[in-house]
């Protein structure tokens, strides 16, 4: 806007986004170290970007790795309002799953409502990709990689906990590993990440360097 234009209306969108750090994950589990939504979202963004890059470099895709990172960064933004619903509860049955999807959609819209009207469309494409774009071609594949990145981040958390001697996460690790394996069967870049980048997780800094 140019000098002399009307004063910009106050918006709470980014103040709300900053509250990701207050949303704790794994609420039903005893953790050796708590994990918040902000940490998880950054890790998902990094992994989603890596998966898209691997897909482009090794498998001839033309995916937007930057968009993958953004989608990963905001993939659980609705939890700023809803909190983290534990996976066993969220997917206990179809009725609960569908009801929670409606809750998530309403929370995403509530966040978008806090944006200025001129900025809202750009962020809708990130927060609500399923509602913004046709789910086909590269876009659908990109969404699949973000979901895989989410599962990989969860698996990394499980590995960290079991390496620390926390038996609480053994069952979650087995379930999450099975989900990642299933995704890797359809996404070679996920299989590459599991084989090449996952094994070092859990090592000490001296071992990594």
Task: Band the pLDDT of 130: cuts 50, 70, 90.
Answer: low
For all residues of the chain together, what is the average pLDDT? Answer: 90
In angstroms, the Cα distances linking 14 to 18, 44, 57 are 6, 19, 34
Integer Cα distance of 89 and 39 in angstroms: 22
Q: What is the pTM of this model?
A: 0.89
Classify 187 as helix, strand or coil. coil
What whole-number percentage of the chain has pLDDT above 90?
Answer: 74
82's tokens: 């809803």
* Neighbouring residues of 20: CB distance < 8 A, sequence distance ≥ 6: 36, 37, 38, 41, 77, 79, 80
Structure tokens at 160: 């960290």
- Give the pLDDT confidence of 89-104 residue by residue, as tens digits: 666 677 777 787 888 8
The string of pLDDT tens digits covering residues 15-27 is 999 999 999 999 8
Q: What is the pLDDT of residues 164-186, one digit of tens each?
A: 999 999 999 999 999 999 999 99
Structure tokens at 75: 């993939």
Mean pLDDT of 145-151: 97
Check if the beta carbon of residue 44 is closer than 8 Å to that of residue 146. yes
Q: Which comes out higher in pLDDT, residue 28 or 129?
A: 28
- Residue 188: pLDDT band with limits 50, 70, 90: very high
Kindly report the number of other CB atoms within 10 A of residue 63's CB atom.
Answer: 22
Q: Which of 48-52, 127-131, 150-154 comes out lowest in average pLDDT? A: 127-131
Report the pLDDT averaged over residues 116-137: 79
Largest CA distance in the chain: 63
Average pLDDT over residues 74-84: 91
| Length, in residues, of the chain | 209
CATH topology of domain 13-200: Hypothetical protein af1432 (1.10.3210)
- The pLDDT assigned to 152 comes to 98
Average pLDDT value for residue range 2-8: 66
pLDDT tens digit string along 156-167? Answer: 999 999 999 999
What is d(CA 43, CA 47) in angstroms, rounded to the nearest whole number? 6
For residue 153, pLDDT over 90 is answered with yes
Return the domain boundaries, the chain.
13-200
């Amino acid at each position: 806007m140019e000098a002399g234009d009307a004063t910009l209306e106050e918006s709470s969108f980014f103040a709300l986004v900053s509250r990701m750090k207050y949303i704790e994950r794994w609420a039903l589990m005893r953790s050796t170290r708590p994990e918040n939504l902000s940490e998880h979202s950054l890790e998902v963004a990094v992994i989603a970007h890596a998966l898209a890059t691997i897909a482009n470099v090794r498998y001839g895709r033309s995916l937007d790795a930057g968009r993958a990172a953004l989608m990963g960064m905001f993939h659980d933004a609705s939890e700023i309002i809803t909190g983290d619903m534990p996976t066993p509860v969220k997917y206990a049955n179809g009725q609960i799953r569908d009801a929670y999807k409606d809750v998530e959609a309403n929370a995403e819209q509530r966040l978008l409502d806090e944006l200025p009207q001129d900025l809202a469309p750009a962020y809708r494409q990130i927060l609500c990709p399923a509602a913004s774009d046709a789910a086909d071609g590269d876009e659908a594949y990109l969404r699949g990689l973000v979901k895989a990145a989410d599962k990989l981040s969860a698996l990394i958390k499980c590995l960290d906990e079991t390496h620390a001697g926390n038996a609480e996460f053994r069952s979650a690790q087995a379930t999450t590993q099975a989900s990642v394996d299933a995704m890797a069967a359809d996404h070679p870049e996920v299989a590459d990440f599991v084989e090449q980048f996952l094994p070092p997780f859990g090592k000490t800094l001296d071992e990594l360097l």
